[in-house]
Amino acid sequence: MAAATPLAALGGCSSGQKSSSGGAGGQTLTVGLLAPLTGPVAPEGKAMRRGFDMAVAEVNAAGGVLGKPLEVVVEDDQGTPSVATTAARKLLQRDRVDVVFGTITGDTTIAVKQLATQAKVPFMKAILDDYLHSPLCSRYFFKLGESDYQLLEPLAPFMVERFGRRVALVGSDYSFPHSYNQTAKPLLSAAGAQVVAEEYAPLGTAEWSSVIGKLKGARPDFVLSSVVGGDAIALLKQAQSLGLLKSSEITGVSINQEFYPAVPTLMNGRWGTFRYSDQLDNAANRKFVADYRAKYSDDAPIPSVTANSYVGVHLLAKAVGAAGGTDADKIVAALAAVKLADTVYGPEEISFDPGNQVLNTNIYLAQIASGGKYTISRGAGVTADPTKC
């Protein structure tokens, strides 16, 4: 369906419209976009919004949903739970949206998921998350973002086979890296690895020499890093200068396209798994990338969250079309059953896992190359997230 959409995204201006009457139960689908547009995770929020806006423009250019244009209300959650709660309430109570779309951070997600579930409104999230160890089960919650399990499951055996059995874990000290490592450990031991070190440092750590010293002391073959933000750059630079990277490979959340421009030489050739790259070679993606580049005049690599929200809106539009109405239960049932083929991820059909409503797609193994592009090594197939809801 995405491939057939005419190239009308260039003039897209569908975001930011406020609907005072709302669409609860009516025929106009109103989606509330809740994203951190300011604050420390604003880059991710804006990236999500771009995919969202592009898809909404395409959907509306093709006739909208149920014959009417899809309407959008945008709220900034600033990446903090108290603001997210108020903003979500605004969307649910004042604007009476049919679907809530967004959130980036783990804590805002938990809060919004709870509110949406209580209000019986579907909620879709576009960015990667950990589902195994977070309280995120709800029939109203549709997880577009890839799960860390899906990414780690093919990565662990590959790294062990290629680099060695000794692995050191390092992460920023908050919920996500802890869950990430909790997910990683059984996968690593199943692949025959041995965890020789596990270190965490608080967010905002600029000086990593002590941690690096401890990691070096454990002599790992590779390091799995879930350090985020500016701390990741500091870690990578200091790991290099203090000699850790001479003897150990490094992978994980810290190795991503967003950080590539800062430390290109440190990133080149490093391995990772991903669901989406603007290098994926299929018709839908080529078109998507071209539209994106034209609309935003941005040559930087396109992050996964952008693709996820783009696909998510199309999934939603198709589901609501199939449901025939904007009633919440109908939408939920339709989303649970919706299937979409020829997406930017590839030609294969994608859908939500019936057990936990995580989007199942192909995962790929790749290296980061110059310019931050992913060089795909091989496909790893579709991995289902084992979370039981």
Partner 1 sequence: MSDLVLLLLNFVSALSVLVLVAVSLGLIFGQLGIINLAQGDLVMVGAFAMYATRELPFLVGVATALVLGLLLGVVLERGLARALYGRGLMPALLATWGVGIVLRQAADALYSSTPHAVAAPVGGSVGVLGVDYPTYRILVAVVVAVLVAAVLAVAYRSSLGLRMRACIDNLEMAALLGTSPQRMFMLVFVAGTVLAVLAGSLAAPIVGVTPTLGLSYLPAAFFAVLLGRPGSIGGPVLGAALVAFLTVLLNRFFTATVAQSLLFAALVLFIAVRPEGVRWHPPARRTRPLQPARGGPTAAS
Partner 2 sequence: MLSEFYLGLVALGLAYGLFAFGLDLVWGRAGIVSIGHAVFFGAGAYGVAIAKVHAAPPVLGGAAGIAAAAALALAIGGAGLRRKATPSTMAVLTLGVTLLGAQVATAWVGVTGGTNGLLVLTGLSGAATMWCCLAVAAAVVALCQVLVFRAPLGNRLTALRLNPQRARHLGIDTQRLGLLALAMGAAIAALAGAVAAPLVGLISPEVVGILLSTQVLIWVALGGRNTLLGPFAGAMLATLGQNLLTDVSLSYYLLLLGALFVVVVIVAPDGLVGWLRRPVEVRPAWRPLRRSAAWVTALPDGPRASPPDGSTTPPPPAARQGQAVAVSGVVKRYGGTPAVDGVSIAVAAGEIVCLVGPNGAGKTTLLDVISGDLEADEGRVLVLGHDVSRAPVHRRARLGLARTFQTPSLFGTLTVGEHLTLARQEARGTQQLPESYRRLEDSLSGVAAERLSLGDRRSLEIAVALAGGPRLLLLDEPAAGLSPDEAHELARALLAVRDQLGCAMLAVEHDMEIVRMLADRVVVLHQGAVLRQGSFEEVHVDGRVRDAYLGVT
Q: State the binding partner of 76 from partner 2, partner 1, none, CB within 5 to 8 A by kind.
A: partner 2
- 54: tokens are 């592009």
Residue among 2, 9, 37, 152 that touches partner 2 (CB under 8 A): 37
Helix (H) or strand (E) run with residue 4 in it:
none
Nearer residue to partner 2 within complex by CB, 134 or 282: 134
Q: Which residues contact 370 (CB under 8 A, 6 or more apart)?
A: 264, 268
**Part in contact with partner 1 (CB under 8 A); list of ranges 3-11, 81-89, 231-239, 379-387:** 231-239
Is 237 a binding residue for partner 1 by CB under 8 A? The answer is: yes
Nearer residue to partner 2 within complex by CB, 93 or 210: 93
Q: State the binding partner of 206 from partner 1, partner 2, none, CB within 5 to 8 A by kind.
A: partner 1
Interface map 185-214 toward partner 1 (x if CB under 8 A):
--------------xxxx-xxxx-xxx-x-
Q: Which residue has the tokens 């680099």?
A: 163
- 136: tokens are 């995120």
Nearest distance, CB of residue 231 and partner 1, angstroms? 6
Sign of CA dihedral 181, 182, 185, 186: negative
DSSP category for residue 301? P
Residue 215 CA, chain-centre distance (Å), reads 29
Q: Which of 85, 82, 126, 129 is nearest to 102 (CA)?
A: 126
Contact (CB, 8 A) for 323 and 330: yes
Residue among 230, 295, 348, 376 that touches partner 1 (CB under 8 A): 230
Residue among 191, 233, 322, 341 that touches partner 1 (CB under 8 A): 233
Q: Which residues contact 192 (CB under 8 A, 6 or more apart)?
A: 160, 165
Subset of residues 171 to 200 that bind partner 2, contact rule: CB under 8 A? 173-176, 178
Subset of residues 51 to 110 that bind partner 2, contact rule: CB under 8 A? 75-76, 80-87, 89-90, 93-94, 106-108, 110
Q: State the binding partner of 85 from partner 2, partner 1, none, CB within 5 to 8 A by kind.
A: partner 2
- By CB under 8 A, the count of residues binding partner 1 is 34
Subset of residues 6 to 65 that bind partner 1, contact rule: CB under 8 A? 39-43
Nearer residue to partner 2 within complex by CB, 83 or 307: 83
What ranges make up the beta strands (E) of 109-221? 123-125, 141-143, 166-172, 194-201
- 110: tokens are 């938990």
- Please measure the distance between the N-terminal and C-terminal CA atoms of the chain and give it in whole angstroms: 30
Residue among 17, 114, 240, 351 that touches partner 2 (CB under 8 A): 114
Q: Which residue has the tokens 């990593």?
A: 208
Count Cα atoms within 13 angstroms, Cβ side, for 334.
Answer: 20
SS3 assignment, position 367? strand
In this structure, the number of other CB atoms found within 10 A of the CB of residue 86 comes to: 12
Q: State the binding partner of 110 from partner 1, partner 2, none, CB within 5 to 8 A by kind.
A: partner 2
Q: Which strand ranges, in their side-by-side order, compose the sheet holding 339-340?
A: 339-340, 350-352, 359-360
| Distances in whole angstroms, Cα of residue 163 to Cα of each of 82, 257, 271 | 44, 22, 11
Nearer residue to partner 1 within complex by CB, 12 or 40: 40
Nearer residue to partner 1 within complex by CB, 285 or 306: 306
Give the separation between CA 150 and CA 90, rounded to whole angstroms.
Answer: 34
Nearer residue to partner 2 within complex by CB, 107 or 198: 107
Residue among 262, 283, 290, 294 that touches partner 1 (CB under 8 A): 262
Q: State the binding partner of 341 from partner 1, partner 2, none, CB within 5 to 8 A by kind.
A: none
**Site residues (CB under 8 A) for partner 2?**
18, 37-39, 42, 75-76, 80-87, 89-90, 93-94, 106-108, 110-111, 114-115, 118, 134-135, 173-176, 178, 202
**Site residues (CB under 8 A) for partner 1?**
39-43, 173, 199-202, 204-207, 209-211, 213, 229-234, 237-238, 241-243, 258-259, 261-263
